[in-house]
Chains A and B, each alone.
Chain A
Amino acid sequence: MKNISYIIIGMIFGLGISISGMINPAKVLNFFDIAGFWDPSLMFVMGGALITTMIGYRIVFGRHHPIFATKFSIPTRNEIDTQLIGGAAVFGIGWGIAGFCPGASIPAIGSFKSEVLIFTVAMTAGILVARAFKNGVLSKAKA
């Protein structure tokens, strides 16, 4: 049951991405193109997702623990540093070039379109290189 719930949660997320239009780079890029073919649809995606999550989290956090786990695992980091802002900026540049974010590209793999597969391989390469750099150069610099 626990394992099936992960698959179903992934499906619901992916369906949301597919239905909302987040899965379509042409639409995402037009959302960013406020001086051109501006398509404000993604404001409704973010709005719908955020309001649902805010209300849902309030209810869920009233519980002592999640259904299948003994505790809530919430990120605890709170530092706003160069890595956070620089990383977010680089992500935004890539998103503005290609129109896919990670959460949209993964469901898009299910379309088997070659552009999606190329994007996903390039994104995974970026993750591998950045992690190697973080674990190598940066952790040595700290030590």
Chain B
Amino acid sequence: MEVFAQQIVNGLSIGSIYAVFAIGCTLIFGVLNIINLAQGAFLMIGACVGLEAARFGLPLPVTLLVAAFGGGLLGVLSEQFMFRPLRKAGGHRWMGLVASLALARLLVGVAQEIFGTEVQAYPRSSMSAIIWQIGGVRIQALQLFIIAAAVVLMLLFAFILQRTSLGRAIRTVAFSEDVARIVGVRVESATLVTFFIAGALAGAAGLLLGVLFNVVSPFMGDSALVKGLTVMILGGLGNIPGAVAGGFLLGLLEVFSVAYVSSAFRDAIGFGLIFLILLVKPTGLFSGFEERRA
């Protein structure tokens, strides 16, 4: 029972990060119908930039903002200088996919040059030292911070998307660019904002992932990307609440397979189960609620 409760805590902290990362990927897909493979690299850059900020002595919540801003900026640049020119030139959607992969490799290369290939750690935060024992369950203050930050980010995201004029504009572009133009939305600006939000979520997820495992490396974006895409598909492509649920589910699956089976099989079991779920429900666990394109 204690092991079980412990895994729930661990699973929720990692799952909340997956959820934050996956809603960014889902947003891009929902609005532009493309998959941005550079999101994983944005996550990694977020972690690296956040690490620099932490070394500079900034408190954790501020480094989170720095990481989010860094990721968001990259998102905007990728749209402005890569995705948009490709669309304008009439490139097929697959061209965007391949270009985003190239961008990811480029960013990994740049990060290797600047930050080195060595795995690095965050300066010890006071939060990792605070540990509560409740029954037999160890809860780090850091884990609570991560879950709280992830939940705040998701609520903020939901608020912007559902309750603001900007959010309605983004959802309208997702439905149809022509309809967005008809009501006076500047589609290009709305798209840039979309890329900023998705990039910022990736950057923030990168920082949270870095502090949770206390590991930052130029290659951390690769496995995160695979997980983000998995969660996105699991949740039903383009379905944001589905991505949130899928993120938590994957996090829990992973820690439970480590606790009860073997860490060697962590990914195999996690992804194996996802494969099974998709075999049973090919449209994703939470399909049916997604914002459909017209």
A and B held together in a complex: no
Chain A residues within 8 Å of B, Cβ to Cβ: none
